[in-house]
A and B are shown apart, each in its own frame.
Chain A
Amino acid sequence: MKNTLILASLLLPALCGAETVKLRSGEETPAQVLSLDADSVKLDGGRTIPRRDVSEIQFTAAQAAAGPGAASVAVSTEEAAAAKADFAQAGALAARFPGANGLVLLDSGSHILNPDGTTLDRNHQVRQILKESLKQAWGQVIACAEEGRDRVKIIKASVYGPDGKIYTLDPSQIKTSRPQEEGGDFFVSGSVCTQYVMPNVQVGSIVDYETETETYNPFRKDFFFPSWGFQDDQGPIAKSEVTVSVPEKEDFYYSVKNFAGLGADKPSVASAGGMRTYYWKLENVPPIVAEPSMPAYEDTAPFMRGSLFKEWDRIFDWTLAMHEERTRPSPELQEFTLDLVKDSKTEEEKAAKIYHYVQKKIRYIAVKVGVASGWGGYDANLTWKRGYGCCIDKALLLTTMLKAAGIQASPILLNTNNMNEIDYSIPQLGFDHAITVAEIGGRHIFLDSTGYDSRYPEIADFDYGVKVLNIFAKKIDYIPVPEPKENGSFYDFSMDLSSSGAADISERMHYTGSREGGLRYYYRSIKKEEQKQTFQGFAKSVAPSAELLSYEVNNAEKIEDPFTLRVNYRVPDYPQRAGNILIVKLPDFEIEQYRIGEISLDKRRYPIKYGDPMGRYYTYRISVPDNFEVVSLPEKINISGKYASFSAGCAKAAGGLINCSLAWERGATLIPPQDYAEYKDFIEKAASYTKNQIFLRDLSAEGK
């Protein structure tokens, strides 16, 4: 439902000299287009094509599949010597880092900004494959580019066999393809990928390939944002290096992170030929060993980002110009909006009406054809008429309608919290989502109209706790993280035990914050009969012999009202009998292992990253018949750590009742590795506690 700022995926290839005329038949003709009118397209050489048969005219030069430079190369003595040296280096690296799937001997990149604003990126990799599974991923080169802006060349692709044989690039085997995948949400066109499968790749082979991507037609010549990651997840890297070259007259700003313990984060800088070059290098970088719930690659691996400017003004100005233009309500939309909110008395009521309207009436679908629609979004009036749009389109429409209703609002760009954290010290365009912020009743409220399920003013959990670009305010804003109770799940159980051990159990559930929207989404997405199956599963998870009596799913389709659940089930033989002892499990009380996989490792190298805070609150009212005597109850517990707290306990009450409760809160969303041991200990104590049971004695079995 996000990932709509598709700039990054609009990578595509293209051209040279004359135009390329693409016909609906699939034919592509390089030709000079002389003229075009209502009926025909005239080409040089006297050819005239009916306009209806033409799908596209590309004005920038088209690229040959292989591209210049992709020439068959005989094996040179230098390459043979290099191969030998690579094997020697690989042996040493393998000894230092045993057990890897592969070895990265060289991971080298360069980013060049030419004086005319075009750019050239090169990527040179030398890798040894040590497992069959890497033959596919490391044994081929696939590079994609945006048609009309970029072109890709494969400069080199050699395979050094463990048997001493060397296979060099065969340009006749280079192919191109347009990526496609099933799914009705994304329609992003324009990308063409160059593919080459390196021959005779075996376990033990070393692949040595180099690609070049030239952006010959940048949409902004000052938008030069090189980046480089210096770590791999399959094996160690002997040398990871990157150079960034800019004309001397240009400033260049950069940030690096996660270099600690690996090498110098300051680049060497050299000048030559009117260009200034920055160079970073790390050696012997160990592989990433993934951990459950760890942050994104860029937040954990050594990483560099750069830009020609340090402030965000240029990005704000460029984006603001597009967004302002696209958020001017037409008289028709203005009138519609005012009519929509005519019965609303407060700004809150108006905002809620508009928020729910955009959520419900604008179907989520990303149809993007270039940077203007991908980054700038479509005009809000068009989105309103079309009835569909992606996150930025919906954010612009929401902004427009709020403005039409007299509420100050702005589109917001962000990286959701399941992606890398945006490094705001260096401008970039790597955002994956867009929402809206508004000043409503004196409050600064973020609204995400992309989905369908959040009740005003709630938003999806992946929006929490991230810094964002507030476009109209031209500032970096922050979406706050709610308190655990404001993002909580509340379960209230009532259990009536009969003298025979049968139990009638009822459970009411309600939710706050993103939890409500998340649950609403699930229940709205499944069939009514499947809802019933879900509740039958609920009951069975408490006791295998449980039979569902009734259930309620309230307001799954009505986002204006709270979403709640209720279920009743009967268990004919609920307590487990062990002689005259009865063991009673509190339903859903136990913290099962699958819920705490993030603390399953003895030690962690990386932080635990949660998407949202958590509050789980349980109450139990258990009615115990006269013939049962309480032997023991779970003792009270109240533990709290730096990041979370847990309290629970049971007590006897008048009238043969046992009351129990549990509250588990975690306000933090990031647990640093230095606090992991304490946090793990805390969770394990809580989880172990929840294995406790209620022990009763059956007096009737003892003849009492």
Chain B
Amino acid sequence: MKIFLLYLLLTGAPARADILYLNKGDEINGLVTAMDAGSVTISAAGKETSYARGEVMKIQFVKEYSAVPVPPQEDPAIQRLLAAPPKPADYPNDGYLTWLDETAIDIRPDKTWTVTRRGIRSVLRERGKSPAAYRSYSFLPGLETAGINYAYSITDSTVSYLNDISVMEGSPYMNYPSYDRLRLAKYAIPNVQTGSTLVYSSSYSAVHSPEYPFFAEVPFRFSEPVKTARLVVTVPDGLELSYQELNLPKGTVFSKTSKDGNSVYVWEVSDLPSYRQEPHSPPFMRYVPQVALSLASSWEEVRAVMAPLLRERLVITPAMKAKAAELVSGKTGALQKAEALYNWTVKEIKFQPVDMAEYSYLPKPADETFSAKAGNALDKPFLLYALLDAAGLKPEFAYARSKDAPFTEKLPNIRRFDRAECLLTADGKELVLSPAEDTRRYFELQPELQGVKALRVLGSGEPLFDNPDHSSDQESETSSARYILDKDGNLSGSYSSRMTGSFQASMRSYKDYKKEDLDRDMEQYVHSIHPLARLKSYTLKNLGDLSKNLEFVFSMNAQGYAMKAGRYMIFKVPGLDYTSSDAAQTERELPLFWYSRSRNSRKLTITLPEGYRLYHAPKDLDIKLAGQSYSAGFRTSAGKLTFADDLKMDNTWVDPAVYPQYKAFREALAQFSENWVVLEKN
């Protein structure tokens, strides 16, 4: 081992390196040795050169992130790794191996906390070089401070430290100035080759506040393998830690010890393989092994803390009252009034796609959002709450946890939530209104909020409740079509569709298209049916009117749609093109997931050409597997062929053990789609 240590060389930038930028564009790398009233002197490439101050644009003092607690040549963990590096053949799937992924959380008696991430990685393959060397972290100025402790690579026994040149900090939400708070810092460790070892550490510290209490979710497994993942949480006596383990594998080692007036919790997991991409996988946090952490509290307590803060922000100005009154004027019932207020909020307040975790868990004062005419997924619902309140509709306000992450009741904390909504009973109907993008009608709750847990902050009921779950009929498309097939195989006819839920919301996004662009897309859509398909006309009504459902109709023709072979003519049902591409693999590790139930039904009639009769049509299919069902069948009558099918997806979470059933289901649909309808000349 000692012999090996001798070969570890420190290179890369010297301990101090500067860049002198001249007005004419030159960048001189060296050491600025002096500066006075007239000039700046830099030592570079073995000689000193002085430049008049008027020639100089900038001096950058480059910092090297080399403040390691233990030098690499003395760090036993590094030495062990270098002495016996992982073999790529042992990780045939992977670009790099995270040898150690350690998260250390120190909570202090005043409830402030510091999180330090430390990692060691080995690059196994070419494609692992860049992702292994890239790191980023974000923080909320005012609440958090963050920085890199150290980072370096060891390549061919050479140690290269990260320096300022490949560190960059800025704002990811510059295009949303009203929500431009989060700062994102990223860095790339230099001199990385296949076989390199990378070591890094960064920290952030946060101040405690009622609306930003301690909370952490620490995942242990990623898209590249992890040899050892460790979470260490230090909690001072007098504070109680609540935690929830989710999906932890067997063999996870947990310990809790007391030391120096602290409780120290340690979780350690070893040999975590990489994830592979699988179609319809749930959101990452829904399946990854993780520990969620919070300081002990209760949901009542969370509500008690947040409610007064929200009420402070419930500023309803005369202008807002007037607007609410104007909007509900002439509306006869609470439902109509709620719809009018929702429609105005969702359309007139620009949606700002900045998560509350990336800006604030407290809404902006409602009057501020009203004036700015812009709000995120917290502020738009809060403004709607204010307007509903101003209209006397007695709403409630809640935070909700979308389906993007798990929810457990065990950890009461406002930072569990990522969305907000208004609750209302109107004309006997229980409404959940969550205005965000302006494509959904008031009753079309976003799939990610259907059936999830929510916390009632302003309102009198139980704090925690379940959002309503939508049925497949509430997320559906129902179409009908009438076509005529002539003796030359040409097809013509019309198609119409009614949509609900996300189908309708998705189609409604065409409202943002200018007329010519919409025309173009419709033309392209019809052309996708057949190379010779041509759009004759279309209507897409009520695109911009959220008080009405869309009406979509088009007519088309397609020359040579059916092919002839001797006395036979063959064709497939237009638009029937189910595939089994999402069920191609023989087994899965992860569940199948969809955000909502759904339903697709269609009925189609084709008038057959004179002189032809139906020779063959696929047999009826009626299948129910893995919480999905499909029925389809052909009928003939009076020279007409009728096809009807109905696909219902009622199960939005299919466990891997049930995957073979899902696979069989999708393959049956795909096989049915492959079938030709064969006509024979009389």
A262 to chain B, nearest CB (A): 17
CB–CB B27/A373 < 8 A: yes
Tell me which of B170, B372, B667, B670 has the highest count of chain A C-beta atoms within 10 A of its own C-beta: B170
B531 pairs with A602, CB closer than 8 A: no
Cβ-neighbour of A184 out of B130, B180, B515 (below 8 A): B130
Please tell me if the beta carbons of B133 and A184 are within 8 angstroms of each other in the complex. yes
Q: Which of B79-131 contact A (CB under 8 A)?
A: 92-94, 125-127, 129-131
Q: Which residues of B contact A371 (CB under 8 A)?
A: 25
Determine the residue in chain A with the shortest Cβ distance to B347. Answer: A132
* Least distance between A403 CB and chain B CB atoms (Å): 21
Centre residue among A596, A600, A692 by max chain B CB count within 10 A: A600
Binds B, one of A71-79, A135-143, A487-495: A135-143
Per-residue CB contact flags for chain A residues 416-440 toward chain B (1 = under 8 Å, else 0) read 0000000000000000000000000
B357 to chain A, nearest CB (A): 16
Q: Is the CB of B59 within 8 A of A57?
A: yes
Decide: B515 and A600 in contact? CB cutoff 8 A: no
CB of B336 closer than 8 Å to a CB of A: no
A132-B347, A187-B188, A369-B19 known; A196+B133 contact, CB < 8 A:
no
Interface contact A196-B276, CB-CB below 8 Å: no
A688 engages B560 (CB within 8 Å): yes
Give the residues in chain B near A235, CB-CB below 8 Å.
514
The reply to whether A365 and B166 contact each other, CB–CB distance below 8 Å, is: yes
A579 within 8 A of B: yes
Is the pair A178, B170 in contact by a Cβ cutoff of 8 Å?
yes
Q: How far is the CA of A370 from the CA of B21 in the complex (A)?
A: 8
In Å, the complex CA distance between A688 and B560 comes to 8
Query: A566 contacts the other chain (Cβ, under 8 Å)?
Result: no
* B92 and A180 contacting across the interface, CB-CB below 8 Å: no
Which residues of chain A from 632 to 649 have any CB-CB distance to chain B below 8 Å in the complex?
Answer: 632
A537 at the interface (CB under 8 A from B): yes
Of the candidate stretches B298-306, B393-401, B427-435, B674-682, the one touching chain A is B674-682
Q: Are B177 and A175 in contact (CB under 8 A)?
A: yes
Q: Flag if B565 contacts A632 (CB, 8 Å).
A: yes
Judging by beta carbons under 8 Å apart, are A101 and B524 in contact? no
Q: Does B364 contact A (CB under 8 A)?
A: no
**Is the pair B674, A600 in contact by a Cβ cutoff of 8 Å?**
no
User: Which residue of the partner chain A has the closest CB to B616?
Assistant: A578
A177 touching B174 in the complex, CB below 8 Å, given contacts A56-B60, A199-B372: yes
Contact B565 A688 (CB under 8 A): no
Q: Which of B549-588 contact A (CB under 8 A)?
A: 560, 563, 565-566, 568, 570, 579-581, 583-586
Which segment of B50-58, B327-335, B378-386, B450-458 sits at the interface?
A: B50-58
- Indicate if the CB atoms of A541 and B126 lie closer than 8 Å: no
Which listed residue, A98, A135, A361, A687, touches B373 by the CB 8 Å rule?
A135
A274 interface residue (CB < 8 Å to B): no
A197: B residues at CB distance < 8 A: 177-178, 372, 374
B371 within 8 A of A: yes
Q: What is the bound-complex CA distance between A602 and B126, given in angstroms?
A: 46
Contact B130–A364 (Cβ < 8 Å): yes
A47 interfacial contact with B, CB 8 Å: no
* Contact of B532 with A51 in the complex, beta carbons under 8 Å: no
CB distance from B508 to the nearest CB of A (A): 12
Are B670 and A175 closer than 8 Å at their CB atoms? no
Instruction: Tell me how far the C-beta of B180 lies from the nearest C-beta in chain A, rounded to whole angstroms.
Output: 5
> CA–CA, A539 to B131, complex, Å?
31
CB neighbours (8 Å) of A60 from chain B are 23, 57-58
Q: How far is the CA of A593 from the CA of B577 in the complex (A)?
A: 12
Residues of A within 8 A of B186 (CB): 180, 182-184, 187
Known contacts A530-B277, A540-B584; A187 and B168 CB within 8 A of each other? yes
Specify the chain B residue showing the minimal Cβ separation from A7: B25
Given known contacts A55-B61, A100-B514, A386-B191, A632 and B531 CB-to-CB distance under 8 angstroms: no
B55's nearest neighbour on chain A, judged by CB, is: A59
B-facing mask of A195-233, CB < 8 A → 1, else 0?
Answer: 111011110000000000000010110000000000000
Expressed in whole angstroms, the minimum distance between the Cβ of B36 and any Cβ of chain A is 5
Specify which chain B residues have a CB less than 8 angstroms from the CB of A180 in the assembled complex: 168-172, 174, 183-186
CA–CA, A181 to B168, complex, Å? 10
Q: Is the CB of A369 within 8 A of B177?
A: no
**Interchain CB contact (< 8 A) of A291 among B184, B520, B560, B675:** B520
> What per-residue 1/0 map shows which CB atoms of B459-497 lie under 8 Å from chain A?
000000000000000000000000000000000000000
Residues of B within 8 A of A683 (CB): 531
A387 close to B (CB within 8 Å): yes
In the bound complex, do residue A24 and residue B63 qualify as a contact, i.e. CB atoms below 8 Å apart?
yes
A58:B514 contact, CB within 8 angstroms: no
**Per-residue contact bits, chain A 600-636, to B (CB 8 Å; 1 contact, 0 not):** 1110000000000000000000000000000110000
Give per-residue flags for A501-539: 1 if the beta carbon is below 8 A from chain B beta carbons, else 0: 000000000000000000000001111111011001101
CB within 8 A of A131: which of B56, B276, B511, B671?
Answer: B511
Taking a contact as CB atoms under 8 Å apart, the answer to whether A55 and B527 are in contact is no
Q: How many residues of A contact B (CB 8 A)?
A: 119
**Beta-carbon contacts under 8 Å, B515-547 to A:** 515-517, 520, 523-524, 527-532, 534
Q: Are A179 and B565 in contact (CB under 8 A)?
A: no
Q: Which residues of B contact A543 (CB under 8 A)?
A: 674
Contact yes or no, B514 A287, CB < 8 A: yes
B34: CB under 8 A from chain A? yes
**A99 touching B523 in the complex, CB below 8 Å, given contacts A182-B136, A372-B25, A693-B570:** no
- How far is B170's CA from A180's CA once the two chains are assembled, in angstroms? 5
> What's the least CB distance linking B198 to chain A, in Å?
12
Measured between beta carbons, the chain B residues less than 8 angstroms from A140 are 175, 177
Question: Quick check: A557 and B174 within 8 Å, CB to CB?
Answer: no
Question: Given A56-B58, A98-B515, A182-B186, A367 and B130 touching (CB < 8 A)?
Answer: no
Whether A593 contacts B166 by the Cβ 8 Å rule is no
Q: Decide: B568 and A292 in contact? CB cutoff 8 A.
A: no
The answer to whether B58 touches A59, judged by C-beta atoms less than 8 angstroms apart, is yes
Contact of A524 among B127, B131, B178 (CB under 8 A): B127
Does B193 make an interface contact (CB < 8 A)? yes
Contact yes or no, A544 B580, CB < 8 A: yes
Q: A30-38, A335-343, A394-402, A655-663: which lies at the B interface?
A: A30-38
Q: Which of A118-164 contact B (CB under 8 A)?
A: 131-133, 135-136, 139-140, 142, 147-149
A133 to B284 CA separation, bound complex (whole angstroms): 30
* Contacting pair A387 B27 (CB below 8 A): no
- Find chain B residues with CB under 8 A from A281 CB: none
B584 interface neighbour in A184, A386, A539, A691, Cβ under 8 Å = A539
A596 touching B25 in the complex, CB below 8 Å, given contacts A132-B438, A536-B586? no
Nearest CB in chain B: distance from A142 CB, A: 7
Q: Is the CB of A541 within 8 A of B581?
A: yes
User: B320-349: contact bitstring with A at CB < 8 Å (1 yes, 0 no)?
Assistant: 000000000000000000000000000110
Interface flags, B658-671, vs A, CB<8A=1, else 0 = 00000000111011
Q: Is the CB of A290 within 8 A of B517?
A: yes
Of the candidates A54, A131, A132, A292, the one having the most CB atoms from chain B within 10 angstroms of its own CB is: A132
Tell me if B32 is interfacial: C-beta within 8 Å of chain A.
yes
Does A601 contact B523, Cβ atoms closer than 8 Å? Answer: yes
Residue from A202, A360, A684 within 8 A of B126 (CB atoms): A360
CB under 8 Å from chain A, chain B span 610-664: 615-616
Q: Least Cβ distance of A256 to chain B in Å?
A: 25
* B-binding residues in A (CB < 8 A): 24, 33-38, 51-52, 54-60, 98-101, 131-133, 135-136, 139-140, 142, 147-149, 175, 177-185, 187-189, 193, 195-197, 199-202, 217, 219-220, 234-235, 287, 289-292, 360-361, 363-365, 367, 369-373, 385-388, 452, 524-530, 532-533, 536-537, 539-541, 543-545, 557, 576, 578-579, 581, 583, 591, 593-594, 596-597, 600-602, 631-632, 683-684, 687-688, 691-693, 695
**6 residue pairs A–B, Cβ–Cβ below 8 Å:** A135-B350, A178-B169, A178-B171, A180-B172, A539-B584, A583-B676
4 nearest interchain CB pairs? A99-B515, A180-B170, A184-B134, A219-B25
